[in-house]
């Protein structure tokens, strides 16, 4: 390992120990300095997301010259800066206005639906149930359940204006942190090949092939769980916005933005994003609410059967029970951030367990094959010894006589 003009020679065992020490130090630093290291953690996530794009752009040519990593990073940051400026000037004020308007109007619409539309609908269904002699008081049941549900929605939606105001003011307050994150991301993106080579040299030579295989498996799973999920979120948000605009639902852009963001959380994100859209649709009437629900179900049907297999891929798939378990554990220990990172971390754990079990099976198979081949080799040695003893001994006199005879 070369360090600025002089060389430090490390044995394979010393490199392995150094790698373990660095890993333990990183884990300890994450727990002890979690708040301080947050910009670094965000920068590492951005580096992982942007590295394939930077690598592809660095191989492109502009005016006959290779762009390179530095040029690719400058171009990417320029485009991102223009997009961030446009979002802050044109999109963010409209989102804030829609959130504030939604916070004021939705409770009123829900109250009107509860007092006018819902009783007529319940009376119609009660007549049908009475015709079949079903002893169910539908109005009382809905009064206990649905009314309480609407009260909860009113209480949550009533705070939308306050949350939106917090987002707008927080956007400018964390501007310094964003600048720090972008600086760290740029430095790491530029030096990433050198950093990868340094980490590669730390791994002992006899372990480099399996470690590289493990890294590729983790990258394959994370590529589906992170990069693929971001694409699915974008498609989900766009389709939700288009469908709500077609149905002429108010706050279509805001609800589409909420649907796209909530899609980052598997399973529960779908429920979080569907409730406000269906609730606003119900303010137009029961059939409009059913139309909104049908459109959302169609989007998630397309997502489950078309987008997830082709964009996320089968490598990142986890059993639904494991996904729910990971989400519950993530929410318990990390809240909203735990929900966002639960599935990627579960994918990493899955890759590590698969690798460990695979190595253990390979070792056990090799040991069993050696045990099976050991008795046969001993038997072969004994047979060879017997065959050698049965052969006539050739002496020097015999060789001399044979030569004279010739």
Please write the tens of the pLDDT for every residue from 225-238. Answer: 787 778 888 889 99
Q: Is residue 319 part of a domain?
A: yes
Would residue 358 count as lying in a domain?
yes
Asked whether 152 and 135 are in contact (CB, 8 A), the reply is no
**pLDDT on residue 142:** 65
pLDDT at 338 exceeding the cut of 60? yes
Let me know: does 276 contact 258? Beta carbons within 8 Å.
yes
Cα(67)–Cα(62) distance, rounded to whole angstroms? 6
At 211, the pLDDT band (50, 70, 90 cuts) reads confident
Please state, in angstroms and as integers, the Cα–Cα distance from residue 236 to each residue in 44, 190, 239, following that order.
Answer: 26, 33, 5
pLDDT of residue 47: 92
Rounded to two decimals, the pTM is: 0.64
Structure tokens at 117: 């539309």
| Window from 19-23, 117-121, 225-229 with minimum mean pLDDT | 117-121
Q: Which domain holds residue 331?
A: 203-270+312-364
Tell the burial category of 185 from Cβ atoms under 10 Å away from its Cβ (0-12, 13-18, 19+). Answer: buried
Ranges 157-161, 199-203, 273-277: which has the least confidence: 157-161
Strands 6-7 and 2-3, sheet pairing = antiparallel
User: Number of folded domains in the chain?
Assistant: 1
Are 228 and 311 in contact, with CB atoms under 8 Å apart?
A: yes
Range in 35-44, 153-162, 363-372 with the lowest mean pLDDT: 153-162
240 — pLDDT class (breaks 50, 70, 90): very high
Is 120 a member of any domain? no
Strands 65-66 and 2-3: unpaired
Question: Mean pLDDT across the stretch 80-90?
Answer: 87
Report the candidate in 91, 89, 142 with the shortest Cα–Cα distance to residue 117: 142
Q: Is residue 378 part of a domain?
A: no
Signed CA dihedral, 209, 213, 216, 218: sign only: negative
Q: How far apart are CA 42 and CA 57, in angstroms?
A: 22
Task: With a cut of 90, say whether residue 295 has pLDDT above it.
Answer: yes
Residue 91, token pair as written in the block: 């999109």
pLDDT at 385 over 50: no
330: Cβ contacts below 8 Å, ≥ 6 apart: 338, 339, 340, 341, 342, 345
Lowest mean pLDDT among 89-103, 121-135, 265-279, 386-400: 386-400
Beta-carbon count within 10 A of 300 CB: 17
Residue 281 burial (C-beta neighbours within 10 Å; 0-12, 13-18, 19+):
buried
Domain-located, residue 360: yes
* 221 inside domain: yes
The pLDDT of 375-400, averaged and rounded, is 45
Three-class DSSP category at 356: helix
Tens-place pLDDT, residues 317-335: 677 777 778 888 888 887 7
Does 201 score more than 70 pLDDT? yes
d(CA 26, CA 168): 34
Convert the pLDDT of each residue in 86-95 to its tens digit. 888 888 787 7
Q: Is residue 226 situated within a structural domain?
A: yes
| Cα–Cα dist 294/302, whole Å | 12
Q: Regarding beta strands 61-62 and 6-7, do their DSSP bridges make them parallel or antiparallel, or are they unpaired?
A: unpaired
Angle of helix 138-157 relative to helix 118-131, nearest 10 degrees, comes to 150
Determine the Cα–Cα distance for residues 79 and 155; give it in Å rounded to an integer. Answer: 40
Residue 236 lies in a domain: yes
Q: HSE of 318 in the Cβ direction (CA atoms, 13 Å)?
A: 25
336: confidence class by pLDDT, cuts 50, 70, 90: confident
Q: Which residue in the block uniquely carries the two structure tokens 């372990």?
A: 207
Residues in the chain: 406
Whether 139 and 126 have beta carbons less than 8 Å apart is answered as yes
Report DSSP state, residue 159: T
């Amino acid at each position: 390992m070369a360090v600025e003009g002089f060389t430090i020679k490390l044995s394979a065992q010393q490199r392995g120990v150094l790698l373990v020490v660095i890993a333990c130090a990183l884990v300890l630093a994450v727990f002890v300095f979690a708040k301080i290291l947050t910009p670094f953690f965000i920068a590492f996530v951005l580096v992982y997301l942007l590295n394939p794009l930077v690598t592809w752009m660095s191989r492109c040519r502009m005016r006959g010259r290779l762009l390179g990593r530095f040029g690719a990073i400058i171009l990417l940051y320029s485009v991102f800066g223009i997009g961030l400026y446009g979002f802050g000037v044109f999109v963010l004020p409209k989102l804030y206005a829609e959130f504030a308007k939604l916070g004021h109007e939705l409770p009123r619409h829900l109250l009107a639906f509860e007092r006018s539309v819902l009783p007529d609908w319940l009376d119609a269904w009660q007549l049908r149930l009475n015709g079949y002699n079903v002893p169910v008081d539908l109005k009382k049941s809905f009064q206990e359940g649905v009314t309480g549900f609407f009260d909860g929605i009113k209480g949550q939606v009533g705070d939308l204006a306050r949350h939106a105001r917090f987002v707008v003011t927080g956007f400018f307050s964390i501007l310094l942190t964003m600048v720090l994150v972008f600086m760290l991301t740029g430095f790491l993106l530029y030096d990433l090949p050198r950093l990868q080579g340094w980490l590669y040299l730390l791994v002992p030579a006899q372990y480099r092939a399996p470690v590289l295989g493990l890294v590729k498996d983790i990258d394959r799973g994370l590529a589906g769980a992170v990069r693929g999920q971001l694409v699915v979120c974008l498609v989900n948000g766009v389709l939700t916005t288009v469908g709500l605009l077609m149905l002429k639902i108010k706050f279509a852009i805001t609800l589409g933005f909420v649907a796209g963001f909530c899609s980052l959380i598997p399973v529960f994100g779908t429920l979080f994003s569907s409730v406000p859209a269906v609730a606003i649709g119900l303010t137009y009437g029961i059939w409009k609410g059913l139309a909104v629900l049908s459109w959302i179900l169609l989007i998630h049907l397309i997502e489950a059967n078309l987008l997830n297999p082709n964009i996320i891929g089968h490598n990142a798939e986890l059993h639904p029970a494991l996904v729910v378990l990971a989400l519950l554990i993530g929410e318990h220990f990390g809240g909203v951030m735990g929900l966002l990172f639960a599935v990627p971390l579960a994918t990493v754990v899955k890759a590590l367990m698969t690798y460990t079990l695979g190595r253990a099976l390979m070792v056990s198979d090799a040991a069993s094959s050696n045990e099976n081949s050991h008795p046969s080799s001993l038997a072969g040695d004994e047979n060879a010894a017997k065959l050698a003893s049965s052969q006539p001994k050739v002496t020097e006199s015999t060789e001399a006589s044979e030569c004279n005879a010739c």
